[in-house]
Structure 1
Amino acid sequence: MVDTRRPVLCGWVDAVLREQLGRGERKSVSGSSSVPQKSNLKPTNSIYWQQNFEERMRGHGQIRDAVKYGAVTAGWGDQGGDDRPLEWVRVDDVELLASLLGIATNATQLQVAQKNLEAWTDAYPRLIEVLKAWERLRRVRGLAPDSWRSWRDALRVLDAVVAMPGEDQVIRVLSGRLFSDTKRIEKLLPQLDVLSGEGLSSRPRGKWEVLRTLGLVKQPMPLLIAGTGKILMHEGPDCTIVHPYVGVAPRSVRGLEATPSWVLSIENLTTFHLAAEALKCREDGLVVFTGGMPSPAWVTGFRSLTGSLPTTAVFYHWGDIDVGGFRIAARLQEVALPEGVSLQPWLMDVTKCGRGNAVSESIGDAMRAAAVRVGWSELGELPSLALEQEQIELKLPESQ
């Protein structure tokens, strides 16, 4: 907590002392026995010489007070008498300097964060990574240890998700219940992404990629299915798949009375509609809309729908040729497919499309890594090009 009784420092003095506090903390973390580097104020372009005479003189007194306090040491010019210029400042005691500035050291903030987040460290390995990063003076998504309250709120959200496995929850309803603020969860995206993601260094995911993966949705979504046959339901009459498609509650599905030779999951709604129309009069395939990143409820319904299909059925996924599209495929492979089934790419090789939008090499790397994660090693050498699936001409698989 800031001590309101401390004197208001000159802007340049505050900047120099904060610079020294940072250097002192970094030396402490590194374990080096050498003294921190001085703030050299001799150059004419330094912050010190950018001040007018009166401001420099006012700051001199504050620097001398900091020296008397034991927080820093300072060096002065040989010439000039009482007005001799300040040449350098170096931290002497990190804790005293932080006290003088009215702020907590990183070590103090970290101690508070560790104490308040301790209850979750065993359940969430990513939290330990966050705490270790803070210990090394690294921010996580721009957040320092003093942001621990937001991480605690994100952990409460994850607890609520874990308590209802395989189900979706309406995000603003859950947010209102947990925080009396219907939009609070949507303000916790960086924290939720890190805590539920692949690691601190992984590329940030999009809003709904994070939320839907956790089962946090705007509203409950039906499982949209195109093809022929009958969807077996847990309650009520079974549902015949009519043209162009039907929608059912994922948790109500218990199976499928049909034997399609292939199943195609599609990321985007527009393309799903086109595929559903094109499937008319064909009985060999099943097309299912993922709604972007598949949610836990969707996964439960899809597994129930396809779990008893013949082992000869081939599973394909068609999504955008971008990081999100390949991440969706990776999630499908990891959690949604029947045991022992490998997901196959459908129209997701940009080299066969003859066009694409250039992306940065880092994004290209993320795309290729996600493709390899699915098991699509043949796509691990893709060029750094992206393409939305709506830009690709519709084509459906043929019977095997």
Structure 2
Amino acid sequence: MREQMQRGERKRVTGSTAAPQKSNLKPTNSIYWRQGFDERMRGHEQIRSAVTRGAVEAGWGDQGGEDRPLEWVRVRDVDVLADLLGLSTNVGQLQAAKEELKPWLERYPRLSEILQTWAALRRVRAMGPDSWRSWRDALHVLDALAARPGEDQVIRVLSGRLFSDTKRIEQLLPQLDVLSGGGLASRPRGKWEVLKTLGLVKQPLPLMVAGAGTILMQQGPDCTIARPYVGVAPRNVRGLAATPAWVLTIENLTTFHMAAEAMTGRTDGLVVFTGGMPSPAWVAGFRRLTEQLSQSATFYHWGDIDVGGFRIAARLQEVALPAGVSLQPWLMDATAHGCGKKVSDSMRDAMRATAIHAGWSMLEELPALTLEQELVEVKLPDTARKQGKSPDGE
């Protein structure tokens, strides 16, 4: 009868006037004939009750007297059937979801898309309207983050404060991804890509910088960039007393350490660790660090050659760079390295689309290869830029 309830709901959503398809129970491999005799008899009583209530109509075999076998069932009234089964209809669940999520509709446009999808009997990340409580929790998280823009919050501390459960936010990853991402049909992002973009971190992270110069601080003494690098609280950064010819942001920690060591004896550039996907606090600190360099420095990014790496570049271009600056790729063309891991064409297409979103049209013909940053030999940008070589560093 659950199958018939679903068919009845689809009929109601589509507005079809045709009768729903019967559930044919004649085949010996149907669920009806896989039940034992006593179970079938109990089912018969339920079907007769449902017929009496007008929930379904049923057809019985010609032979067998009072124990005639059931041959088919078809829904007549979805609401009555749902009541008999002790279930909520999609309409009822959707109404509850709309009512409970209404306070957030104007502030979070993606929510309307979710409700429309549920109304069409489709699911969002395998969740239907009966999951509205988890979406409400995710919206409470987004509200708490919006109340402190440009800051990072420790995920388990915030989770404990909001829900008295330090791990609750981590259970809301699909909801947070959809509500803050590129659309219901977009490819799911990795856990920390979602959380760090929102400003949810394991612990506060420093802004780590290698190069030459002095980081000007909001409070306390200014910080000379020592060798091989220094780390400062992003919120305390006020600016930079130096004029590097280039700034290179690096996605992964191992590569940042190697690049910092390669900076020994160099004073022409600045290498900055993004910590993977940059968080709001990192973005705010980096903008203050580099805001006076828009006319004097070339900005590069070096990360993994994969969708995540290009997404980081796109975010840097969108929110982290000084006004009027275009971010350039550094060592992020797999064809230049002669190696990589083969991936599907759909993954390649996603990489190309994300690279173009970052403003890197020169990479629109990327091959179906990914390559981790740690597998690429460290090179620094200065000589390549001065000699007019391509901005991907080769």
Query: Normalised by the size of structure 1, how large is the TM-score?
Result: 0.93
Residue aligning to 1:331: 315
SS at match of 1:140: coil
**Is 1:123 matched up with 2:111?**
no
Deviations 1:289-327 (A, max 9, x none): 000000000000100011101514111111111111111
* Contact preservation (8 Å) 1:26, 1:137: yes
Alignment of 1:153 with 2:132, yes or no, is no
Deviations 1:117-171 (A, max 9, x none): 1000000011111111111111111111111111111101100111111111111
Displacement, 1:63? 1.2
Q: How does 1:1-400 map to 2 (within 5 A)?
A: 17-399=1-383, 400=386
SS of corresponding position for 1:308: helix
Show CA shifts across 1:323-364 (max 9, x none).
111110110000001111111111111111111112233322
Deviation of residue 60 (structure 1)?
1.9
- Asked whether the equivalents of residues 122 and 128 of structure 2 are also in contact (C-alpha less than 8 Å), the reply is yes
What fraction of aligned residue pairs are identical, expressed as a percent? 74
- Specify the code of the residue in structure 1 equivalent to 2:300: Y
- Contact in 2 for aligned 1:259/1:310 (Cα 8 Å): no
SS in 2 for 1:264: strand
**Bigger shift: 361-370 or 236-245?**
361-370
Letter of the structure 1 residue corresponding to residue 342 of structure 2: A
Deviation at 1:398, TM superposition (A): 1.8
> Whole-Å Cα distance in 1 between the matches of residues 159 and 39 of structure 2?
50
Aligned to 1:8: none
Give the distance between the partners of 2:18 and 2:352, measured in 1 at CA.
44
Say if 2:294 and 2:324, in contact at 8 Å, map to a contact too.
no
Count the aligned residue pairs.
384
| Residue type of the alignment partner of 1:192 | L
Q: Which moved more, 1:43-52 or 1:230-239?
A: 43-52
Offset at residue 80 of structure 1 (A): 3.3
Give 1:257 shift.
1.1
Letter in 1 for 2:219: E
Aligned residue identity for 2:303: G
In structure 2, do the counterparts of structure 1 residues 95 and 310 end up closer, same or farther at CA, with 3 Å as the change threshold?
Answer: closer
Give the distance between the partners of 2:294 and 2:315, measured in 1 at CA. 22
Deviates more, 1:328-337 or 1:372-381: 372-381
Where does the alignment leave 5 or more consecutive residues of structure 1 unmatched? 1-16
Q: Give the superposition deviation at 1:254.
A: 1.2
Deviation at 1:51, TM superposition (A): 2.6
Structure-2 residue corresponding to 1:6: none
Q: Is the 8 A contact 2:82 2:89 kept in 1?
A: yes
SS in structure 1 at match of 2:382: coil
2:334, 2:61 → 1: CA distance?
Answer: 66
Q: What letter is aligned with 2:376?
A: I
State the shift of 1:58 in Å: 3.0
Deviates more, 1:143-152 or 1:118-127: 143-152
Distance 1:158 1:132 in 2: 21
Shift of 1:258: 1.0
State the AA in 2 paired with 1:95: D
Contact 2:294/2:322 (8 A) holds in 1: no
CA RMSD of aligned residues (A): 1.2
1:244-301 Cα deviation digits (max 9, x unpaired): 0011111111111111111100000000000000011111111000000000000001
Distance 2:31 2:60 in 1: 16
